[in-house]
A and B are shown apart, each in its own frame.
Chain A
Amino acid sequence: MSETLISARGLTKRYGDFTAVDAIDFDVAKGESFGLLGPNGAGKSTTMRIIAATSQRTSGTITILGRDPEEHGPQIRAHLGVVPQQDNLDTELTVSENLFIYGRYFGLGKKFIRNKIYELLEFAQLEEKRDVKVDTLSGGMKRRLTIARALVSEPDILMLDEPTTGLDPQARHILWDRLFRLKEIGVTLVITTHFMDEAEQLCDRLVVMDKGKIMAEGSPLELIKTHSTKEVLEVRFGSDRNKEIAPSLRAICSRMEELPDRILMYVEDGEALLEEILNRKLHPTTSLVRRSSLEDVFLRLTGRTLIE
């Protein structure tokens, strides 16, 4: 068992009557890539801010790098790299100035930071943008710069809050590639996301959160195994007929989810089920057999989809 970097027990955060984080327990081990998956408002970002030693918990306990953030905020923050949901770069300054200034906040020497900037610009694929004002960068570049900035102090834990939200598919893939490299060299990652594909790509282990609570925990594969079936058959009969046909489908499949636009049928063998449906002359307008994903896990656990 490797060293535990973060450990939370009964962690709770309330804002007045509203409970944003409701008595959650989790541990993050060194070198692990840990994910918090859930829809908007599940309490992921609040949990992140508590781990980042900026927001104070209401009750419960948490230690980060062996310390209590209530008493040792600056000491903990000195060894974290934080990538917030919204880029908060100084857009008036250049790319390298942003990195330089941020390094100073950790008390790092000028020489160390100057050398580090070369390395980070290469990592973020921003070498040519070195002396360009941040204002003029694309969304994907800004995101990479924010990640590079978080790495300036060589943090023990890199925290990413919704790292690819708002990026186009190409920019997302570039970012995933960069994050995957960090994972390979053993950087401990804590990631929140409401994209199941992102969680599957990047996380070794994750917790599914909803309404401030942890609904399930495990590796993406374990979660799928435990809470879903091997395959999913998606059928559409047109939004009017879906409701009408659902009862006859129920007769041949014990686990189904009816969504407004389609019906999801959970089975071990999707093709066989589809054949059975066609034999019964139920002719769906479209059909698709796919592997189960975390989206299905979430749907199973909460009865709702991740992105609504």
Chain B
Amino acid sequence: MNAGIDVARVRSIGALYVAESRISAMLKWKGIIAIVAIGNPLFYLIAIGIGVGVLVDENSGTSGTGGVEYITFIAPALLASAAITAALDEAMFPVIEGFKWRKLFYAMNATPITGPQIALGVFIAALMRVVFTVICYWAVLIAFGVISVAQSWDVIPVTIFAAGAFAAIIMAITAKVKNDDYFMTILGRLIVMPMFLFSGTFFPLNTMPTFLQPIGWISPLWHATELGRHFSYGYSLSAMMLAIHFAFLLALLIGGFALANRTFTTRLTR
């Protein structure tokens, strides 16, 4: 028996070892991750801020955006959307890869590491990518003077929390997937894209026809965006709405983990 083996240690911090391996793999893509994290806000700010934003501000003033410039209005929404996209990348691909493409999770599970630890490790690594993305995005927004440091620092943890909730539920759903071809097409084109368009990102949700508004209500992005606006420029939210937004995201986080833990275990131990 190898005396160096430490089962108790793996039991308590095994998820960190999984996260460590995920981050090693992620660092192989560090150039691309950095370019996306910085390039994404730059392009959006230039295109929307200078292009669309000027058009909106000149034609309707700030009446439609609750008294702020259009760029200020959409900045927290774009931040939330970038965070959620990063979460999607790191919660979906590694899970498909782990169960199907390269079966890495089966390799991990052949050691003292358990299914729930793999789920938590993948989640922690995804969250690291989200943190990096959010901080880069926020820094660009500050650099361009779109929001102020004093007023908006707390948008960072709130957005990270929202993206984390999204990562948990995506991880859980992806773990159930057997046929990844259809899944990615449906998730990408029929869920994520409409979510981006109908979650009050570019215009307030209540300006949409009532029958379309429920898309926003169930969209994590809308909840993240509303919170982001509240914490970045003081967009007013009632105490009840604040609670609802947080509760919705918290439910995704808890529900996502409960489902992921179960699915990871059953799929690995079949």
Contact = CB atoms under 8 A, between A and B. Distances in A.
Interface of A: 52, 54-56, 73-75, 77-80, 82, 84, 86, 88-93, 97, 101-102, 104-109, 112, 149, 153-156
B24 interface: yes
A93 B17 contact: no
A105 B14 contact: yes
B223 to A, nearest CB: 34
Contacts of B108: 105
A88 B106 contact: yes
B197 interface: no
Contacts of B104: 88, 90
B269 A56 contact: yes
B110 interface: yes
B7 A82 contact: no
B112 A75 contact: yes
B152 interface: no
Contact of A156 (B1, B10, B25, B109): B1
Given A78-B112, A106-B10, 14 more contacts: A56-B269, A73-B114, A78-B10, A82-B110, A90-B25, A102-B107, A104-B21, A105-B17, A105-B111, A106-B6, A107-B10, A107-B17, A153-B2, A154-B2
Contacts of B106: 54, 84, 88
B262 interface: no
A74 B9 CA distance: 11
A112 B21 CA distance: 18
28 contacts: A54-B110, A55-B269, A55-B270, A56-B269, A74-B7, A74-B113, A78-B10, A78-B112, A80-B110, A84-B103, A84-B110, A89-B102, A90-B102, A91-B102, A93-B24, A93-B25, A101-B24, A102-B107, A104-B17, A105-B111, A105-B112, A105-B113, A106-B6, A106-B10, A107-B6, A107-B7, A107-B8, A155-B2
Most B CB contacts (10 A, CB to CB) among A89, A101, A105, A112 go to: A105
A54 B5 contact: no
A151 to B, nearest CB: 10
B93 to A, nearest CB: 11
Nearest to B109: A54
B9 to A, nearest CB: 4
B1 A79 contact: yes
B205 to A, nearest CB: 40
A108 B17 contact: no
Contacts, number: 103
B209 interface: no
Contacts of A88: 102-104, 106-107
A84 B8 CA distance: 25
A17 to B, nearest CB: 16
A101 B114 contact: no
Most B CB contacts (10 A, CB to CB) among A54, A90, A102, A156 go to: A90
Nearest to B17: A104
B268 interface: yes
B28 interface: yes
B268 A102 contact: no
Contacts of B8: 107
B52 to A, nearest CB: 38
Interface in B104-127: 104, 106-114
A86 B14 CA distance: 24
Contacts of B110: 52, 54, 77, 80, 82, 84
B240 to A, nearest CB: 45
Most A CB contacts (10 A, CB to CB) among B11, B17, B18, B112 go to: B112
B31 interface: no
B145 interface: no
A77 B112 contact: yes
Interface in B69-114: 102-104, 106-114
